[in-house]
Structures are given as structure tokens and as C-alpha cells.
Amino acid sequence: MPWYNGDYPPSYKNQPPALRNKAVEIANELLLHGMEEAVAIATGLKKARLFFAAQQQAKAAPGKKRQQNIKPPTEKDPEEL
């Protein structure tokens, strides 16, 4: 059963509204793809928590970028010569 407009599973009751809405969005999508309701509810909540944790982590370190394997400009690849 999909959930809409303030209708959500009882296990989402005490969650913050933003987390609850994201969990409902994820759970509804999982239901559309044939997942069982109980599994969709649990997975939706877990994935929503991960989503917001990743957002918080990105805000905590905004200037940090992924390291790339780039050769220093002084090195030349022997195949390029």
C-alpha cells in the first residue's frame, strides 16, 4: 500500500518530518518495484537515514574532494615519448 500526504507507516511516527518524508518516498518506490511492504518500510527508513547522514557529511567537509590518481606534471609516461 503506497503512502501519501501525511499517511505513513506507524514505525515512521517518531521520525523527524524530513526523514519520514524521504523514507516514505523510498518505500513507495520499492513497492512499485515489487518489494514486500514490511521490507520496503524497513529499507526505506534505513536508506533515508543513510541519505541524510551523507548530506551531513558533505556539509561538514565542503572543500574536501576525492583524491584522483594523477601523475605529477614533471613525470612523463614512457609511452608518450
Average pLDDT, the chain: 83
* Number of domains forming the structure of the chain: 1
The whole-angstrom separation of Cα 26 and Cα 56 is 19
Q: Can you say whether residue 19 is alpha, beta or left, with left for phi > 0 and alpha for psi between -120 and 50 degrees? A: alpha
The whole-angstrom separation of Cα 55 and Cα 16 is 15
56 domain residue, yes or no: yes
47 domain residue, yes or no: yes
* Side chain identity, residue 48: A
25 domain residue, yes or no: yes
Residue range(s) defining the domain that contains residue 43: 17-62
58 domain residue, yes or no: yes
37 domain residue, yes or no: yes
2: confidence class by pLDDT, cuts 50, 70, 90 = confident
The whole-angstrom separation of Cα 12 and Cα 23 is 8
41 domain residue, yes or no: yes
Closest CA to 45 of 17, 26, 18, 29: 26
78 domain residue, yes or no: no
- pTM of this structure: 0.71
pLDDT value of residue 73 = 52
